Amino acid sequence: MNGEIKPPSSYAEWLNCFEVLGTGMHDEELLEAVSKGKVPWSDGIAQRFAERMMDAVSERLQKAVEQFGKELGRARGEEYAVVQAILALRRQIKYMLRFVSAPVFPEEIIKTFSAEIEKNATNIQDQILSEVKKDPSGRLVRVVQHTPLLVREEPVSNDTSIPMGKTKRRIIF
């Protein structure tokens, strides 16, 4: 794709964005453009928009899973390669969650799509775990258990900070 991706505002422009999403290229540019876009959310378009978005998200996830399968096949049980394959899939899932959580989308879409992606990630994790349990050494089970596909990022807050002038120590004279 030559040039920048423009923020989408019409249904046709959104379809182009969904095509770019499916390719897996220009991710950050796409996310930036989508965040600045406008969703044409009217009665006639809403259903089709959601369907097209779901198709694009599903296509992207399917490609990520296929790539993961290839990388896992090349890993041949080597722990480092298995971890790298899982981390690559995790990055794809994390990106998809960022995409569907763009502030431009209605809250209903964000919740529905995020839940669907998380459910798929959990299913994939369970399938990976059931496959590696066949490994007689048991090493890969530990690796997969310690490398989850979904990592919840808690917002960092500094609520536990101590106000100036106050300390936790008590000085007794």
pLDDT tens-place string over residues 75-121 = 887 889 989 999 999 999 999 999 999 999 999 999 999 999 999 99
Mean pLDDT of the region 154-165: 51
* Host domain of residue 134: 11-145
The Cα 76–Cα 82 span in angstroms is 8
**Does 160 fall in a domain?**
no
**Does 20 fall in a domain?**
yes
Q: What is the DSSP secondary-structure string of 30-91?
A: HHHHHHH------HHHHHHHHHHHHHHHHHHHHHHHHHHHHHHHHHTT-HHHHHHHHHHHHH
Q: What is the pTM of this model?
A: 0.81
**Does 44 fall in a domain?**
yes
Query: What total of structural domains would you count in the chain?
Result: 1
Mean pLDDT of the region 60-82: 90
- Across the chain, mean pLDDT equals 85
**Does 16 fall in a domain?**
yes
> Which of 11-20, 38-47, 126-135 has the highest mean predicted lDDT (pLDDT)?
11-20
**Does 168 fall in a domain?**
no
Q: Kindly report the number of other CB atoms within 10 A of residue 26's CB atom.
A: 16
**Does 173 fall in a domain?**
no
- Look at the alpha carbons of 141, 143, 24, 46 in this order and tell me if their dihedral is positive or negative: positive
CB 88 within 8 A of CB 68: yes
**Does 167 fall in a domain?**
no
